[in-house]
Structures are given as structure tokens and as C-alpha cells.
């Protein structure tokens, strides 16, 4: 298809999403405006997001990305990035961070490896937004090199005994169950020796050890500890030893979602910067007449437009049958690096006002920094692209 020939049904979905945000989400957030201006977030934001994801599930947004055979909308990758960008461009806390669309705390393609029983116990409640999950892979000694995990699972009497510690786990403090990756064959590791397990929150030995604080008020992951947790054999996701193969189902979609989110945030920050540059006066004229300010705004506009073309093309390529590994790695790399620069320029255009918490720009500046870290650091993504170019 022509690159920007977005199907009419996707445009209609985007319009419906925009109406939902303006009608139901914006009024909720406005009630907390003063607290958000002072702290960057508000008390009870987590509970409001849980309520909104149930509403999103009722309207069908929550599961648009999942295949129709499991009750999802079967939305194309192009449709997903268009909607994720729309969700983030409003600059509302409650329109993002797993409120309307899930990334890791709700249903993802990895759950397509569920057995019928697992689907009833785990996937179906996630599809209805009745439960929260988390993706428990990262450990203190295993970040980008996830194959170095030390959490172990030992098979005994028809069960598995899981022991280890996970950290930086998004949604870990609220999860009803965790999808835990553990070493089941130290010799094979990622080549048949790492298994994914469903571990229920009430399993003896499962503990949320602490909440980890970050430079962003939006992102406070959890540390999880598993002390001799007995997990039944039927809680293995997919084939024992092949947890990484199941996880590979979701990597392209997750990276595109993050890239699209970066587009939306960048668009929000650019719109606010343009509005400010057209109204703020200094030395007898609006600052938008200053060539230095114009240069920053044009650079942000140019980089955003370039990144959008790349992200949309990557999504369209996958829809047309491409493997997508290289394309999605490049899309996330370019989009997340771009939004960091746009956020920096937004503060510079606003001058001292941009440094104040009242405008909320500094909050976004801190938040987008993490986008270059999760679901593949910029350095790992460059390595992925290099492999795709035949360099390694």
C-alpha cells in the first residue's frame, strides 16, 4: 500500500479513540490538575488507570491488538501504531501507561501459547481487564543480556520449585500473577533451557520485596522475590525450555508500541512549544520570530515527521509479511532517541518556565529518558540493526 494511505477504518478508530479520551479521560484528569502541576502525578492514579482499562476493554480498545480467535480485534500493526500515537499525543497521564492499551501488564501475543486451561485462567481475565499481570524477566545481573538470568526452576514430583529475584518489573506490585522466566537447563540456557511459568500472587514464597523509585513519577517498577515457590507443571507456558521462543511473539509489537508512544509524546511537546513560541513576547516581539527558536522548532518538526514515516513503514511492512525484527528495532531506536531531543528543546523554548513543574514539561523530559532503555536499549537495537545489515 502507499505509505500514508491509511485505511478508512483505522482513521475511524482513531476518531473514536479521540472522542473517548476527550469525553471520559480528560475530565477525570482535570480534577487532579493542581496536584499534577505540583508533583507530576496524583494520588490514586493507579486505581484510576485500572478503572479506565476496564472501560477500554468494554469499548474494545484494550484488546484491539490481539487476534480475533482469542476475542481480540485483529487490528493491523499499522492500526496499532496510529492509535498508540493518538493516545499519547494528548499529554494526559490517564490516556497512557497501560490505561487504554496494554504493553506488558495486559494481554500480549505471548499468551497465544496458552493451553485451553491457561487461557481460561489467565488470558481471558486479562482480555476483560479483570486481572493484571507482569513480565518478570529482568534481574539485577541480567538486563540487556537476559540469557544471564539466575532465577532457577527445579522439577520435582510433578511441580517446579522456582527461586530467584527479579527487578525493574512494570506492574509487579499490582499483578495478580507474574509470567516468570527461570533457568531450567543451565547448559542450554536460551537455546532450550529457559522456561516461562505462570506464578500466582498468592503462591507461598512469592513476595513484592520493594517498590523501586525512578527519575520519572510515572514509572515505579517492583522487585519480586521467589523463595522456593512451588508451581504446578500445568503452569508452564508453551514448551518447557522454550520461554524465549514464546516471548519472541511479542517483541515486534512492543517495540512498535513504544515507538508510536514516542511519536505521540513528541507531537504533544511540539504542539505546546509552537503555541508558546507564537504567544510569548520578549524584546518587543513574539519569540517565534527569533531564528534560534525557529531552528529548534523546525528541527523537532523535521525529526518527528521523519520518525513517523519510519515507524508507519515498519508497521506496514510487517502487515505485508516482513519478519520485522530489523525494522522494529530501527523504528524504536529512531523514535525514542528523537523524543528525547524534542523534550529537551521544548524546555529550552519555554526557558525558565519549562524548568518549572507547573507546565509539566520537565516531567515528560524525565519520563522519556527511560524509553531508550526498556524493550532493548539503544545500543542493543543498533546491534540488532547491524545484524540485519549483515554486519555480525
Assess contact for 249 and 113: CB atoms under 8 A.
yes
Residue 227 located in a structural domain? yes
Residues 215 and 168 in one domain: yes
Question: What are the counts of helices (DSSP H) followed by strands (DSSP E) for the chain?
Answer: 13, 10
Question: What is d(CA 52, CA 220) in angstroms, rounded to the nearest whole number?
Answer: 19
Residue 13 located in a structural domain? yes
Picking from 265, 258, 263, 217, the residue whose alpha carbon sits closest to that of residue 376 is 258
Question: What is d(CA 318, CA 316) in angstroms, rounded to the nearest whole number?
Answer: 5
pLDDT for residue 1: 37
Q: Which of 73, 102, 127 is the last residue of a domain?
A: 127
Q: Which of 237, 269, 292 is the last residue of a domain?
A: 237
pTM value surpassing 0.75: yes
Question: What is d(CA 95, CA 114) in angstroms, rounded to the nearest whole number?
Answer: 29
CA geometry: angle 35, 167, 131, nearest 5 deg: 65
For 194-211, what is the mean pLDDT? 97
Which stretch of DSSP H or E encloses residue 311? helix 291-319
Question: What is d(CA 128, CA 146) in angstroms, rounded to the nearest whole number?
Answer: 30
Residue 2 located in a structural domain? no
Assess contact for 265 and 241: CB atoms under 8 A.
no
For 237-248, what is the mean pLDDT? 92
Residues 265 and 375 in one domain: yes
Residue 1 located in a structural domain? no
Query: What is the pairing mode between strands 159-169 and 206-211?
Result: unpaired
pLDDT band at residue 247 under the 50/70/90 scheme: confident
Q: Is the pLDDT of residue 202 over 90?
A: yes
pLDDT for residue 95: 94
Assess contact for 110 and 247: CB atoms under 8 A.
yes
A 10 A CB-CB count for 289 gives 14
Residues 33 and 143 in one domain: no
SS3 32: coil
Residue 303 located in a structural domain? yes
Residue 298 located in a structural domain? yes
Residues 123 and 137 in one domain: no
pLDDT for residue 360: 92
% of residues, the chain, pLDDT over 70:
99
262 contacts: CB under 8 Å, gap ≥ 6:
88, 307, 332, 335, 336, 338, 339, 368, 371
Residue 49 located in a structural domain? yes
The enclosing domain of 229 has a CATH number of 2.40.110.10
**Is position 375 annotated as part of the catalytic site?**
yes
Question: What is d(CA 274, CA 286) in angstroms, rounded to the nearest whole number?
Answer: 11
Picking from 326, 334, 330, the residue whose alpha carbon sits closest to that of residue 388 is 326
Residues 182 and 155 in one domain: yes
pLDDT for residue 97: 80
pLDDT in tens, 307-335: 999 999 999 999 999 999 999 999 999 99
Residues 199 and 314 in one domain: no
Residues 48 and 146 in one domain: no
Residue 3 located in a structural domain? no
pLDDT for residue 203: 98
pLDDT for residue 389: 95
pLDDT for residue 246: 87
pLDDT band at residue 2 under the 50/70/90 scheme: very low
SS3 332: helix
pLDDT in tens, 283-303: 999 999 999 999 999 999 999
Question: What is d(CA 245, CA 16) in angstroms, rounded to the nearest whole number?
Answer: 35
Of 86, 303, 327, 375, which is the active-site residue? 375
Q: Which residue has the cell 482513521?
A: 11
Taking only Cα atoms into account, the Rg of the chain, rounded to an integer number of angstroms, comes to 22
In total, how many domains does the chain have? 3
Residues 322 and 229 in one domain: no
User: For residue 201, what are the domain limits?
Assistant: 133-237
pLDDT band at residue 3 under the 50/70/90 scheme: low
Picking from 250, 223, 245, 241, the residue whose alpha carbon sits closest to that of residue 182 is 241
Q: Is the dihedral angle over the CA atoms 170, 171, 172, 177 positive or is it negative?
A: negative
The enclosing domain of 117 has a CATH number of 1.10.540.10
Residues 22 and 96 in one domain: yes
For 138-148, what is the mean pLDDT? 92
SS3 164: strand
Exposed / middle / buried, residue 318 (Cβ in 10 Å: 0-12, 13-18, 19+): buried
The enclosing domain of 351 has a CATH number of 1.20.140.10
Residues 220 and 321 in one domain: no
Residues 64 and 171 in one domain: no
Picking from 232, 138, 124, the residue whose alpha carbon sits closest to that of residue 180 is 138
Rounded mean pLDDT of the chain?
95
pLDDT for residue 56: 97
Q: Which of 221, 237, 253 is the last residue of a domain?
A: 237
Residues 222 and 300 in one domain: no
Assess contact for 192 and 157: CB atoms under 8 A.
no
Amino acid at each position: 500500500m502507499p505509505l500514508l494511505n491509511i485505511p478508512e477504518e483505522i482513521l475511524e478508530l482513531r476518531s473514536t479513540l479521540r472522542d473517548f479520551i476527550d469525553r471520559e479521560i480528560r475530565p477525570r484528569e482535570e480534577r487532579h490538575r493542581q496536584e499534577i502541576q505540583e508533583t507530576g502525578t496524583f494520588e490514586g492514579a493507579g486505581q484510576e488507570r485500572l478503572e479506565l482499562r476496564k472501560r477500554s476493554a468494554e469499548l474494545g480498545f484494550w484488546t484491539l491488538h490481539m487476534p480475533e480467535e482469542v476475542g481480540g480485534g485483529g487490528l493491523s500493526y499499522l492500526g496499532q501504531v496510529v492509535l498508540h500515537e493518538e493516545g499519547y499525543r494528548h499529554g494526559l497521564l490517564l490516556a497512557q501507561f497501560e490505561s487504554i492499551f496494554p504493553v506488558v501488564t495486559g494481554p500480549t501475543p505471548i499468551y497465544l501459547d496458552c493451553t485451553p486451561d491457561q487461557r481460561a485462567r489467565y488470558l481471558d481475565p486479562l482480555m476483560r481487564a479483570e486481572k493484571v499481570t507482569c513480565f518478570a524477566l529482568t534481574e539485577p545481573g541480567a538486563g540487556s543480556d537476559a540469557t544471564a538470568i539466575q532465577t532457577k526452576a527445579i522439577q520435582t514430583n510433578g511441580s517446579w520449585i522456582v527461586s530467584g529475584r527479579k527487578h525493574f518489573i512494570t506492574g509487579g506490585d499490582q499483578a495478580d500473577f507474574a509470567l516468570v522466566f527461570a533457568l531450567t537447563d543451565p547448559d542450554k540456557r536460551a537455546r532450550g533451557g529457559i522456561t516461562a511459568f505462570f506464578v500466582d500472587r498468592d503462591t507461598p514464597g512469592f513476595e513484592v520485596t520493594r517498590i523501586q523509585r525512578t527519575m520519572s513519577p510515572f514509572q515505579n517498577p517492583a522487585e519480586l522475590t521467589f523463595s522456593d515457590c512451588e508451581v504446578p507443571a500445568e503452569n508452564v507456558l508453551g514448551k518447557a525450555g522454550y520461554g524465549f521462543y514464546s516471548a519472541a511473539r511479542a517483541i515486534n509489537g512492543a517495540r512498535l508500541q513504544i515507538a508510536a508512544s514516542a511519536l505521540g509524546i513528541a507531537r504533544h511537546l511540539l504542539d505546546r512549544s509552537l503555541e508558546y513560541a507564537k504567544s510569548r513576547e520578549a524584546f518587543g516581539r513574539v519569540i517565534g520570530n527569533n531564528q534560534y527558536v525557529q531552528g529548534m522548532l523546525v528541527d523537532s518538526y523535521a525529526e518527528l515527521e521523519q520518525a513517523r514515516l519510519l515507524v508507519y513503514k515498519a508497521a506496514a511492512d510487517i502487515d505485508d509479511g516482513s519478519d520485522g525484527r530489523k525494522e522494529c528495532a530501527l523504528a524504536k531506536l529512531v523514535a525514542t532517541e528523537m523524543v528525547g531531543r524534542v523534550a529537551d528543546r521544548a524546555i529550552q523554548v519555554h526557558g525558565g518556565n519549562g524548568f518549572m513543574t507547573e507546565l509539566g514539561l520537565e516531567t515528560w523530559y524525565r519520563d522519556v529518558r527511560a524509553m531508550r532503555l526498556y524493550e532493548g536499549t539503544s545500543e542493543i537495537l543498533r546491534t540488532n540493526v547491524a545484524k540485519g545489515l549483515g554486519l555480525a
